[in-house]
Structure 1
Amino acid sequence: MIAEELINQMIPPLKLYDTVEKALRWMDEFRVNELPVVGNRKYMGLATESHLIELNDRSQTLKDVQLEFSDVTVMHFQHFYDVMEAAIKNKIQVVPVLDEMQEYMGIITINDTLAAFGQMSALQGQGSILVLSMSERDYSLSHISRLIEEENTKILSAYVSPDELDPYNIKLTLKLNSTDLTRIIATLERFEYRITAQFQDGNNYDVGRDRLDMLFKYLDI
């Protein structure tokens, strides 16, 4: 699921000539702590409640107010994991989305990313999830598929992403149609593939668990 598909159409951006009072009113209405400010279709930054609430003159326009997180955005084609990570790392509730022309498209809220996480087909239904870490030169989906299919298991989906713990490696996330990973893991490890996460019936650890734990900690759930 990509960022463009998660844009929240119900939350409009603020304009540079909107007032501080209006910004705070909208934040209360939409139940967010930040709102994007846009000028000539360009994203200018986030107006934040923590900053605006300290201002004495709430009739002044956002043009004269310090905006924050002007460099925190995602492109419309990025995966929703990138949206989640941008929100968590910067401790913000909304993430602006830009197009190829660097023009503002909309925002995604933390609740939107939670919904996307729950809807991911890779986390639904029967089967298992397996995450492998490897150097890019060692990546061969055809070889990995052959090893897995020799254990009478099919790959339902595959997703390649950077390994946050090792910038020289990539992560391969696989959704499999089998709930028993014991023989598959043994086979892959025999060929020196490193398993970093797994999810199967009765197992509480899954592909997105590290991100989900970070997200829940951020939301204080």
Structure 2
Amino acid sequence: MRVRDAIHTETLPLAVDDTVEDALGRLLEHHVHHLPVVDDEDVLVGVISEDQLMKAAGPDAPVEGLLLARPVSVPPDAHIFDAARTMVEHTLSTVPVTDEAGHYLGLLRRHDIFDQFARMLAAEESGAILALEVDPRDYTLAKLIHVIEQNGAKVCAVASEAQATSTDKIRITLKLNTRDTSRVRHVLEHHGYHVVASFGEEDSELVSRVDEFMHYLEV
């Protein structure tokens, strides 16, 4: 997934001669805390924050005088993960997208990136979510997927969390195509994967008991 696939062009950038009052109004209008600032040739010159605007000398001050840091941006061909990393590193609610010459093309908003991540992680598809922990020396993605698929389930999405230290266990989150994960969980535990949590799955034992009770009533 590239940045160009999620770029937002409806939110216009601020001009260097826009006032603090204008900028605050635009932030409120678009429900963001940061907006890009461009010059007369649409070249990105900075990103202004709500905090910077609130510290301005007055409402009529131009935003150009508040720009302190070098402008932060991402290219349109960058991966959406790179854009998310840039946004986190610089604590931004939006990140500008520019071409090689620095011309402003649009921006990415935090919820745009969240929406893309949700699609990549198959959040809208039906199925259960398993949270696992495993020792680093026992973890290979190919083995994990093989174990699951050999037991009647498919992996729709997988995500892992970085280890704080080399001895920490790897944390893995799986989205499966089934809500009955009892067999999969049992086999994963057997292979050294500790299932720490499960979400959205059916209680297969309860379902079985309900079926038996309904059969009894019919008799």
Query: Which residue does the alignment assign to 1:33?
Result: 33
Query: Which residue does the alignment assign to 2:208?
Result: none
Query: Which residue does the alignment assign to 2:164?
Result: 166
CA distance in 2 between partners of 1:27 and 1:154 (Å): 43
Measure how far apart 1:180 and its partner are: 1.7
CA distance in 1 between partners of 2:114 and 2:141 (Å): 29
Secondary structure, counterpart of 2:80 in structure 1: coil
The 5 A counterparts of 1:32-51 are 32-38=32-38, 43-51=44-52
Query: Which residue does the alignment assign to 1:193?
Result: 193
Query: Which residue does the alignment assign to 1:78?
Result: 80
C-alpha distance after superposition, 1:114-164 (max 9, x if no partner): 544665662223222234455776543332232112222222x33455x24
Query: Which residue does the alignment assign to 1:55?
Result: 56
Percent identity for Structure 1 against Structure 2: 29
Conserved in 1, the CA contact under 8 Å of 2:134 and 2:194?
Answer: yes
Q: TM-score, normalised by structure 1?
A: 0.64
C-alpha distance after superposition, 1:17-64 (max 9, x if no partner): 433333223223323332122457665443123332342344443322
Query: Which residue does the alignment assign to 1:12?
Result: 12
Measure how far apart 1:11 and its partner are: 0.8
Secondary structure, counterpart of 1:79 in structure 2: helix
Distance 1:133 1:101, change over 3 A: farther
Q: CA RMSD in A?
A: 4.1
Distance 1:42 1:199, change over 3 A: farther
Q: How many residues align?
A: 198
Secondary structure, counterpart of 2:130 in structure 1: strand
CA distance in 2 between partners of 1:127 and 1:10 (Å): 35
The code of the aligned residue for 2:84 comes to D
CA distance in 1 between partners of 2:17 and 2:32 (Å): 20
Conserved in 1, the CA contact under 8 Å of 2:74 and 2:83?
Answer: no
Query: Which residue does the alignment assign to 2:66?
Result: 65
Distance 1:44 1:185, change over 3 A: farther
Query: Which residue does the alignment assign to 1:209?
Result: none
CA distance in 2 between partners of 1:139 and 1:99 (Å): 40
CA distance in 1 between partners of 2:13 and 2:137 (Å): 43
C-alpha distance after superposition, 1:160-218 (max 9, x if no partner): 55x24536576554332221222212212222234455332369xxxxxxxxxxxxxxx
The code of the aligned residue for 1:30 comes to H
For structure 1, the residue ranges without an aligned partner over 5 or more in a row are 204-221
Distance 1:78 1:60, change over 3 A: same
The code of the aligned residue for 2:190 comes to R
Measure how far apart 1:69 and its partner are: 9.0
